């Protein structure tokens, strides 16, 4: 059940309701509940060593002067403490969980959860990320670019493509446009002017292809991107300008030109042989990512593999955090495992995360989990997943009327809200705020193309992105209207960034800049709890509420329509609301233009 703003009981992760997050196991934390129901008693249900215990609560003066408030001192008896509230009236009783108010006891996945001792990388909550595919972003040093025929890879020579030349299937991995790290460094003023304050760079290590997910050497930055010196200069300047940098960790597979694999392939007695899984009677005699011969899969049944890449004293994970990066994005995180499978996947991610936190206490670790990631998001492994399942895919399907694979779809707003809430409500609150939200990426069709070139719908999508719970990330060029030439995902979604401003949609960029500013200036959008306010076939609206320890609430309303023009009538929560763009003040029942999205603020 989707929880609406009108629900007559409230408890969430904000300080008024949960005194503090991340307290240590063995400690206690004050929980509070607010209700307008005529309750005679409120109890707290605690999942305690496999049984459900019921405890009385204490009524307290209302922090905000409204309704009735109750408090309970929660004992942190485990790393994950699950609890619910029982509201008893003269003739009824109700259970309050993250799934709302119900007469029956809900499944444990619906209960509130407290993570003991979990320290979230809270800098991400106030960040707006920007994804850069280095070869296609900006050429800052032509002298380091790949030359025509410089080497052969996978049976064909590499070549340098003209920056303005459209993507072709033939150039999928061999066409190098020449983007590099000096180009990213030169673009930092552009990026900070846009308002972004965190970068995710797809792989930058030595690799033969343009995408660099086939890494030959994890210890060096590719010379064709400028090498280690260019990376150090970029990192220094980015940090000096308040921009964090996250790198792409490809730990499921290596490239076939990686020295570890070459030794293993050449000698059946080599020690490196254990790092891979072999299958002699198969056309590809080793397990590989989707059987692509140039992407041999690592076998984490070998402790040597885990120590080399994940958590050894000088592992790849540790090395680059020591070099100063702010975190890792983990490629195909769901596939890591032993014996050519995903066996042991979650434990491997726990090890990786522990190593990362030992090197940097606020390192951000998020995984590419394209599907339902609920089981991985318990707080002890990745901080977050790329939120395709719980945000990007359903939002884009609803807005475009087509699936990721361009199949027709009649999804309406009710179904959209149902899946958004289902994915959100099962997560520990810090993890929900950590989730890496995106509309498109180097692996998926460009948002503008999926939306049929409609910048009105793109603005609605970006409004949802900046307003939703989690960490927003834009794909390079979205802000100026970069699209693609034909249907599909890779390689078409990897067109080079246009730097000729005459090709920009400057009005779109200005609107994106404004949305980013609002996101970064509004604590409720960064840390607020989520509830839905309004839903119909073609429009949705939700609130983000941050209630402080003194009961004072900061709130935002996020509204989006999938139509080109849409006068939407809805009832706003009590009080005066200010349109964050126009300054218009609104109250009560309003009729407003929802096309392109609206952000309303109340503080």
Residues belonging to the active site: 331, 368
- Residues present in the chain in total: 603
Number of H-type helices and E-type strands within the chain: 14, 32
Round to whole Å and give the CA distance between 215 and 257.
Answer: 8
State the Cα–Cα distance between residues 283 and 588, nearest whole angstrom.
Answer: 67
Looking up tokens 């707080």 gives 379
Evaluate whether 253 touches 290 at the Cβ level (below 8 Å): no
3-state secondary structure of 283: coil
Q: Are strands 28-35 and 68-75 parallel, antiparallel or unpaired?
A: antiparallel
The DSSP string of 308-321 is IIIISTT-HHHHHH
Residues 6+ apart with CB under 8 A from 353: 365, 380, 381, 382, 383
Residue with tokens 């909550």: 125
**The sheet that has 68-75: what strands, in order across it?**
9-10, 28-35, 68-75, 58-60
User: Per-residue b/e over 46-62, b at no fewer than 16 CB within 10 Å?
Assistant: bbeeeeeeeeebeeeee
Separation between Cα atoms, residue 583 and residue 138, nearest integer Å: 37
C-alpha 328/C-alpha 312 separation (Å) is: 16
* Long-range contacts formed by 17-22: CB under 8 A, 24+ apart: 17/547, 18/114, 18/429, 19/549, 21/115, 21/118, 21/120, 21/429, 21/430, 22/115, 22/116, 22/117, 22/118, 22/119, 22/120, 22/430
- Write out the H or E segment, with its range, that includes residue 600: strand 598-602
Burial 203-239 (b: 16+ CB within 10 A, else e): bbbbbbbbbbbbbbbbeebbebbbbeebbeebbeebe
In angstroms, how far is the first alpha carbon of the chain from the final one?
28
Residue 255 DSSP SS3: coil
The 3-state secondary structure of 59-123 reads: EECCCCCCCEEEEEEEECCCCEEEEEEEEEECCCEEEEECCEEECCCCCHHHCEEEECCCCCCHH
- H or E stretch including 429? helix 429-434
Strands 598-602 and 553-561: antiparallel
H helix intervals, 383-426: 393-400, 413-425
Q: Give dist(CA 378, CA 539) in Å, integer.
A: 32
Determine the Cα–Cα distance for residues 228 and 471; give it in Å rounded to an integer.
Answer: 29
Cα–Cα nearest to 558, from 527, 587, 580 = 580
Beta bridge partners of 10: 34
29, β-bridge pairs? 74
């Amino acid at each position: 059940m989707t929880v609406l703003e009108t629900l007559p009981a409230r408890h969430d992760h904000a300080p008024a309701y949960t005194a503090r997050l991340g307290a240590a196991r063995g400690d206690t934390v004050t929980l509070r509940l607010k209700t307008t129901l005529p309750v005679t008693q409120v109890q707290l249900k605690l999942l305690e060593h496999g049984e459900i215990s019921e405890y009385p609560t204490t009524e307290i003066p209302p922090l905000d002067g409204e309704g009735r408030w109750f408090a309970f001192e929660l004992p942190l008896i485990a790393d994950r403490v699950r609890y619910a509230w029982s509201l008893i009236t003269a003739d009824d009783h109700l259970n309050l969980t993250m799934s709302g108010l119900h007469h029956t006891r809900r499944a444990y996945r619906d209960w509130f959860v407290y993570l003991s001792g979990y320290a979230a990388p809270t800098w991400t909550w106030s960040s707006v990320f920007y994804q850069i595919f280095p070869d296609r972003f900006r050429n800052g040093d032509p002298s380091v670019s790949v030359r025509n025929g410089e080497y052969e890879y996978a049976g064909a020579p590499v070549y340098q493509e003209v920056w303005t030349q459209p993507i072709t299937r033939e150039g999928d991995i061999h066409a190098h446009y020449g983007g590099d790290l000096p180009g990213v460094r030169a673009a930092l003023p552009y990026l900070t002017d846009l308002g972004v304050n965190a970068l995710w760079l797809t792989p930058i290590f030595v690799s033969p292809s343009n995408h660099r997910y086939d890494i030959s050497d994890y210890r060096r930055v590719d010379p064709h991107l400028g090498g280690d010196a260019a990376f150090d200069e970029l990192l220094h300047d980015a940090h000096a300008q308040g921009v964090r940098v996250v790198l792409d960790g490809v730990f499921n597979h290596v490239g076939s030109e990686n020295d570890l694999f070459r030794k293993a392939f050449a000698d059946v007695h080599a020690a490196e042989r254990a790092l891979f899984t072999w299958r002699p009677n198969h056309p590809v005699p080793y397990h590989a990512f989707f059987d692509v011969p140039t992407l041999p899969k690592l076998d984490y049944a070998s402790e040597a593999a885990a120590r080399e890449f994940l958590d050894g004293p000088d592992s790849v994970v540790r090395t680059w955090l020591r070099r100063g990066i702010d975190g890792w994005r983990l490629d195909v995180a769901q596939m890591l495992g032993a014996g050519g499978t995903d066996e042991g996947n979650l434990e491997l991610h726990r090890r990786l995360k522990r190593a990362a936190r030992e090197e940097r206490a606020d390192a951000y670790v998020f995984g590419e989990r394209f599907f339902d990631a609920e089981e991985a998001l318990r707080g002890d492994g990745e901080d977050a997943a790329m939120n395709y399942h719980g945000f990007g895919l359903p939002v884009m399907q609803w807005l475009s009327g087509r699936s990721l694979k361009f199949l027709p779809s009649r999804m309406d707003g009710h179904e959209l809200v149902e899946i958004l809430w289902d994915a959100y409500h099962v997560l520990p609150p810090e993890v929900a705020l950590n989730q890496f939200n995106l509309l498109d990426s180097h692996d998926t069709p460009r948002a503008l193309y999926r939306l049929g070139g409609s910048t009105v719908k793109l603005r609605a999508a970006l409004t949802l992105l900046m307003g939703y719970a989690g960490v927003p990330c834009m794909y390079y060029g979205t802000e100026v209207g970069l699209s693609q030439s034909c249907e599909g995902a890779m390689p078409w979604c990897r067109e080079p960034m246009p730097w000729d401003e005459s090709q920009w949609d400057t009005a779109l960029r200005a609107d994106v800049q404004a949305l980013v500013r609002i996101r970064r200036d509004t604590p409720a959008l960064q840390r607020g709890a989520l509830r839905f306010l309004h839903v119909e076939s073609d429009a949705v609206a939700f609130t983000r509420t941050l209630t402080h320890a003194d009961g004072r609430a900061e709130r935002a309303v996020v509204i989006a329509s999938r139509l080109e023009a849409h006068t939407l009538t809805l009832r706003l929560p009590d009080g005066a609301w200010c349109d964050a763009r126009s300054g218009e003040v609104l109250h009560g029942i309003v009729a407003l233009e929802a096309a392109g999205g609206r952000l309303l603020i109340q503080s």
